[in-house]
């Protein structure tokens, strides 16, 4: 999942609202039925921490790897 482009109108990094996060967790749980690991490309260190928090609640913490690099070199 690539969340690097998730920005506010003024270009600051954004994260999911609570309602969206709840649905995203359900979607992630469904995807994990078909995959051993999920790589999440994050738009900020804050999103990395948010992903850790949300996946601990959802039970897929050990299957998720969030990545963030300021210069986007993680996959480009």
Give the tokens for residue 61: 């913490």
- Whether the model clears a pTM of 0.85, i.e. scores above it, the answer is no
Residue 68, pLDDT above cutoff 80: yes
Residue 73, pLDDT above cutoff 70: no
In the chain, domain spans: 1-76
Nearest to 21 by CA among 39, 37, 6: 6
| pLDDT value of residue 45 | 87
List C-alpha distances in Å: 72 to 4, 38, 68.
8, 18, 7
Give per-residue burial for 33-62: e unless 16+ CB within 10 Å, then b: eeeeebebbbbbeebeebbeebbeebebee
| pLDDT value of residue 75 | 52
Residue 62, pLDDT above cutoff 80: yes
């Amino acid at each position: 999942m690539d969340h690097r482009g998730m920005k506010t109108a003024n270009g600051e990094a954004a994260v999911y609202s609570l309602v969206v996060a709840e649905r995203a967790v359900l979607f992630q749980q469904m995807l994990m039925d078909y995959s051993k690991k999920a790589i999440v490309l994050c738009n900020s260190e804050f999103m990395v921490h948010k992903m850790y928090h949300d996946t601990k609640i959802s039970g897929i913490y050990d299957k998720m790897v969030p990545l963030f690099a300021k210069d986007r070199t993680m996959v480009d």
